[in-house]
Structures are given as structure tokens and as C-alpha cells.
Amino acid sequence: MLKITDTTSRHSRAEDNLIFDPGFLLFIRGKYSIKDIKAVDPIKIQDKFKLKGFTFGNFVTQAERYFFVYKIEKQLELLAKLKGSNNLGFGKLIIGFGADGKGGSLAHFNPSTLFINLNRGRKLDYKGILQGENSFVHEYGHYIDFLQGRKEKFYQNFASEGLTIDYKTRKPILRGSAKAQTFQKFTAIGTSNLNYMKGLLDYTNATYLRSNIEVLARLFEATISRIAHTTHKDYQRFFDDQYSGKWYLSHDQIDKSNAKTLAKQMLKV
């Protein structure tokens, strides 16, 4: 497991020697503070939120590592506030940046290693750095869905997989414990919406997009972002709110459902 370490001097702190090139400074200007970025302490963050650790790819610069941890810390802070507890990683979760990228994806969750990796994006101009600012929250939705699913007795890996929809009545059919059913009720906000599910058929990866697992994760990231931009505005700059296309339910659809309440309950896995 890689950690942010001092690679410049045995007698100075790594953050005192961070080099921010002009492109990176332009990227963060007006939105993030260099002072705040330098102040992050990855070990304290790891301990506070009960993470197993952070890991980084070989081509991720020291400045980018600090920036990544800074943003992840703020997203973890909001999740912890909503949960009412700092125990988000359960001592099992590893978070990576540019460490295990997959082509065509912004991030992925590996259930076998309980590892969330966010792809670094484009190397030269920083336009792709942490592209999709809610990718971590999306993958964290997969993480808690998986943790709950493995506790159940219906022999499926994710709690959301226990959900089926009666396509005549559009009503959800739930399975498993009350906790698992919370995940399924949340997923059903999307899967029982006929127009939303039909819209996903326009994409070549429709089968994946329409799966319970992916519907839950996209609704979870959109819901947490909506919370950040409505009732926790101190965090809104750490959560993208520019959803477009048919992949996500609209703000209005989220606000009129009980998605926010269910999302908070899911965090208490």
C-alpha cells in the first residue's frame, strides 16, 4: 500500500516541497485553496474514517496526491455527517487514485479487494483530473450495497440484486432483511420509473445501465450531490451538480421521492 511520503528531504515535510506547475494552478484557481490542500494529513483521514489506506499510481504527482486526498476528505466528511458516524470504511476500504484504471470508466469498485479506484484522467492539461467529481460517491454506493448484500441469505452479492419489479403494477418486490429492503426501495425509485428505464435503452450498454446495481449507484451519487447543493451548501463545490442526459433522474424526481431519507439510512449499513 502506497502512502503520501516526503520524497524531497529527510528533514522537511512533503507539503513544504510540493510543486504546483502552471497548468495545475490554473486548474484549481478560484475554486480550491493551495493552503488547504497542503494542510491535509492522509494518515489522520485514514484513521478518522476507518479506511484501510490510500494508494496511488506511479505517474500521479505529489501535488495531485494531496489534491485528491483533500477532495476525498471533504466528500467523506459529508457522508459521515449524513450517517452520524465517521466509520465509513469499516477498516476494510482502500481508496486509490490512478492506481488501477480501466479504459472508458471514471472509476470502479473491486468487490474482491474492497478497493475503489478513481482514474486520473488526461495527463497534460488537467482537464480530466478527477473527472466526474462524484465518482467516489458512486463507487461508495457500490461498496455499501456489497457489504449489505454479503450479510443477506438470498445468495446474491449486492443487496440491490434482491429487488424485482412487477412490470404490470410497477410495484417493487423486496427480499431479505429490512436493511436490504432499504437498498431495494432506494433502487426501485429508478427501476420502477418506466420512462427513465426506457430512456436507458438508447445506450449501447443499456443492460449494464438498467441493472439494479448500477441504478442504485447512479441514484446514490445524484442524491448525495443534491443534498450537498440544497441542505449542506458548504460542501457543494466538492460535488458535481451538472447531470445531463438520461443516465440520471432529474433534481425534481429526486426531490419528490424519498431518495434522500433512504440514502441516509443506507449509509448506516
Phi, psi of 174 (to 5 degrees): -105, 155
198 grid coordinates: 426506457
Q: Count of alpha carbons within 13 Å of 84, Cβ hemisphere only?
A: 6
CA distance 77 to 9: 31
Question: Residue 5's pLDDT is what?
Answer: 38
Question: Residue 115's pLDDT is what?
Answer: 95
Angle between helices 212-230 and 62-83 in degrees, nearest 10 = 90
Name the strand (E) or helix (H) holding 54. strand 53-56
Q: Count of alpha carbons within 13 Å of 246, Cβ hemisphere only?
A: 16
User: With a cut of 70, which residues of the chain have pLDDT below it?
Assistant: 1-19, 101-105, 121-133, 242-245
Question: Residue 12's pLDDT is what?
Answer: 42
Phi, psi of 94 (to 5 degrees): -110, 135
Quickly tell me which residue has 423486496 as its cell. 174
Closest by CA to 176, choosing from 184, 166, 188, 165, is 184
Angle between helices 259-266 and 212-230 in degrees, nearest 10 = 110
User: Using an 8 Å Cβ cutoff, are 209 and 202 in contact?
Assistant: no
Task: Kindly state the greatest CA–CA separation across the chain.
Answer: 69
Angle between helices 212-230 and 178-191 in degrees, nearest 10 = 90
pTM of the model: 0.89
